[in-house]
């Protein structure tokens, strides 16, 4: 049986690519393409899709996810900018309505592996910083992937820290010179034309350095993950945050 899908943010860069990928997928039927001008709740009550893929703007991600769950649909969310608090709240709503969903800070298999290996390495290297580079039209900073990577590193750091983190004695003589901090990990965000989406997770220890790097060179890399999430979301009864839980 084919699952019906609505794409919200369908006229943006990611949305346009997702519409094409869903149209080519034999198990999915696109029944609606929504943009800013549509009332999401009203359209979902009218179209009644099984799944809603949201690729809009960080400002709207959490509210859209709630609207999708309350409208009786399953959310597949690629929009960035979710905080841990947003996720906890949406997990509770998913439990309440008895329907699962997926929030994926990154749909690319390579990026998910980069995050997984970074988490693993941080069991052994306690000093780490993240540098992410995106195209100049990306509206939010840091990226959802960088935030999620920092959270994944923080999860294992607490349990497995093998040496105390080196005391960072450097002081910024220029505000922001050492980046921002999330979950105890420094993040540096670059926004430049000529780049799509890149992340380096840089580890350092006395006498050695180790870097895990992912480069998205075309939006094509996100499409298998979007379609995979659409298939999987029909089987889950919980809200999953991160494709590493299902890949
Ligand atoms: N998870 C992943 O793997 C992944 C990968 C890449 C990007 N992303 C994220 O995906 C999102 C979209 O990225 P993009 O590069 O496609 O951005 P984009 O080109 O700016 O597309 C966003 C689209 O959503 C529309 N929009 C904004 N607010 C909306 C709302 N409330 N309801 C419906 N539509 C709305 C925008 O309309 P206007 O242009 O009129 O504002 C635009 O058409 C961003 O959050 C980005 O960070 C995720």
How far apart CA 186 and CA 38 sit, in angstroms, is 38
How far apart CA 21 and CA 121 sit, in angstroms, is 34
The predicted structure's pLDDT at residue 168 = 67
Q: What percent of the chain has pLDDT over 70?
A: 96
Indicate if the pLDDT at residue 22 is higher than 90: yes
How far apart CA 141 and CA 19 sit, in angstroms, is 26
Among candidate residues 144, 131, 128, 215, the one with its CA nearest the CA of residue 179: 131
CA of 157 to the centre of ligand 1 (A): 33
CB 130 within 8 A of CB 188: yes
CA of 80 to the centre of ligand 1 (A): 9
Query: What's the whole-model pTM score?
Result: 0.93
Burial classification of residue 92, based on how many CB atoms lie within 10 Å of its CB (0-12 exposed, 13-18 middle, 19 or more buried): exposed
247 pLDDT band, cuts 50/70/90, is: confident
Indicate if the pLDDT at residue 74 is higher than 70: yes
164 pLDDT band, cuts 50/70/90, is: very low
Provide the token pair at 23: 């149209």
Ligand 1 atom nearest to CA at 60: 31
Identify the helix (H) or strand (E) that includes residue 189: strand 185-191
39-71 pLDDT per residue, tens: 999 999 999 999 999 999 999 999 999 999 999
Residues with catalytic roles: 134, 138
Q: How many CB atoms lie within 10 A of CB 5?
A: 29
């Amino acid at each position: 049986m084919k699952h019906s899908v609505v794409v919200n943010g369908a006229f943006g860069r990611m949305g346009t690519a997702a519409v094409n990928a869903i149209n080519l997928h034999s198990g999915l039927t696109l029944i609606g393409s929504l943009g800013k001008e549509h009332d999401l709740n009203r359209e979902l009550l009218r179209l009644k899709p099984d799944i809603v893929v949201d690729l809009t703007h960080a400002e709207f991600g959490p509210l859209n996810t709630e609207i999708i769950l309350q409208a009786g649909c399953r959310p597949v969310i690629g929009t960035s900018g979710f905080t841990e608090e947003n996720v906890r709240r949406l997990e509770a709503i998913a439990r309440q309505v008895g329907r699962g969903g997926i929030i994926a800070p990154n749909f690319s298999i390579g990026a998910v592996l980069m995050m997984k290996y970074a988490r693993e390495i941080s069991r052994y290297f306690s000093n780490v910083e993240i540098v992410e580079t995106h195209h100049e039209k990306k509206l939010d900073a840091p990226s959802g992937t960088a935030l999620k990577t920092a959270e994944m590193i923080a999860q294992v750091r607490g349990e497995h820290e093998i040496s105390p983190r080196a005391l960072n004695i450097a002081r910024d003589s220029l505000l922001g010179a050492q980046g921002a901090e999330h979950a105890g990990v420094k993040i540096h965000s670059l926004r430049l034309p000529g780049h799509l989406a890149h992340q380096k997770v840089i580890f350092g220890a006395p006498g050695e350095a180790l870097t895990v790097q992912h480069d998205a060179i075309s939006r094509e890399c996100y499409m298998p993950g979007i379609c995979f999430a659409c298939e999987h979301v029909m089987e889950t009864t919980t809200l999953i945050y991160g494709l590493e839980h299902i890949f």
